[in-house]
Amino acid sequence: MSEVGSRSAGRREPSRTGSVPTLLVLDAEPPPRLGRLTGRARIVRTDAAHLAERLPGADALLVWDFTSTAVREAWPGAGPRPRWVHTASAGVDHLLCPELAASGTVVTNARGIFDQPIAEYVAALVLAVAKDLPRTLEQQRERVWRHRESRRVAGTRACVVGSGPIGRAIVRLLKALGVTTALVGRVPRTGVYGPADLDRLVSRADWVIAAAPLTEATYRMFGAHVFGVMQPSAFFVNVGRGDLVDEDALARALTRRWIAGAALDVFAAEPLPPDSPLWDLPGLVVSPHMSGDTVGWRDELGRQFVELYERWAAGRPLVNVVDKKRGYVPGH
């Protein structure tokens, strides 16, 4: 996990109550297990409707409901603000607003929890598509015996966009399957290509995988141009953020057979409405934002936050500190 170099980012000032710090929790079901903080924090739980009125009295904020945009909406109000905000998610676009970005508040995220599970999910999709498992299951239900050939995964090419921990974990697992991988990040460096290389890499890839954070630079970066550059036999996967993709452009690409297929685990609007045309697109696999959620994931998130709280309370530098201008935790 990335650690900030300055102690000021992890130093806890005296609490506003004069005793133990007040920890405000934007709750969701099931709530986090914070028993280890008994006597060490005054825990106040809130829903989105009451967040704005309770922010001024909080020393720290845990955004447990990481699907909510309530922080972004409530933060610009009057009064003091928490000195530290932690979100139980890898993405921070749901809470960052200009006022929070410009403030002295430290923001941390759940970097490190979802890397391997999401990589496994991507690898499972690649294998399932190459081995035509959906059709196998369909024909089993229909009691149809139809022999066919499947595709060899080893020797294919993947372009992974997003050079953070999730993207690097995807690369490691695909390499283990014999896939030739290219990793694309915000800036080129050793082992990472830059945005200028994207078209060339996408045009050669069998698998194009979106795992980037959502920023102004990445908003709908996967649109008509990228889908037009991809090979007709290529498959697209998004496990990053929904708004990385122009969903209308993807719908056209699939309908017109510009690409062979796609899998979306994240969407611009979640949950995906029952009347969304995405459900019926040819060649599209829809999953309900579950690629990183394995058995026990909420407990892992809770333990991670408690460890961060202990560092903060002791005045030690925090890890997983988000660069609020960039919208993610800087890394390698």
Which residues on neighbouring strands pair with residue 85, listed in sequence order?
61, 107
Angle between the N-to-C axes of helices 115-130 and 165-176, in degrees from 0 to 180, rounded to the nearest 10 = 40
Closest CA to 322 of 101, 156, 26: 101
Contacts of residue 32, Cβ cutoff 8 Å, sequence gap at least 6? 25, 62, 64, 88, 298, 301, 302, 305
Indicate which residue of 168, 186, 241, 247 is catalytic. 241
**Could you say which of 151, 172, 252, 289 is catalytic?**
289
What Å distances lie between residue 7 and 3, 102, 106, 260, CA to CA?
10, 19, 12, 50
For residue 72, the surrounding DSSP H or E stretch is helix 70-74
Burial class of residue 154 (count of CB atoms within 10 Å of its CB; 0-12, 13-18, 19+): exposed
Residue with tokens 């300055």: 6
Among the listed residues 270, 307, 310, 332, the single catalytic one is: 270
Q: Is 99 a catalytic residue?
A: no
CA angle 265, 180, 209 (to 5 degrees): 15
- 225: annotated active-site residue: no
Q: Is 289 a catalytic residue?
A: yes
Q: How many CB atoms are located within 10 Å of the residue 106 CB? A: 22
Amino acid identity of residue 16, one-letter, is R
Determine whether 21 is exposed, middle or buried from the number of CB atoms within 10 Å of its CB (0-12, 13-18, 19+): buried
Measured CA to CA, the distance from residue 188 to residue 264 in angstroms comes to 27
292 within 8 A of 211, measured Cβ to Cβ: no
What positions carry a catalytic annotation? 241, 270, 289
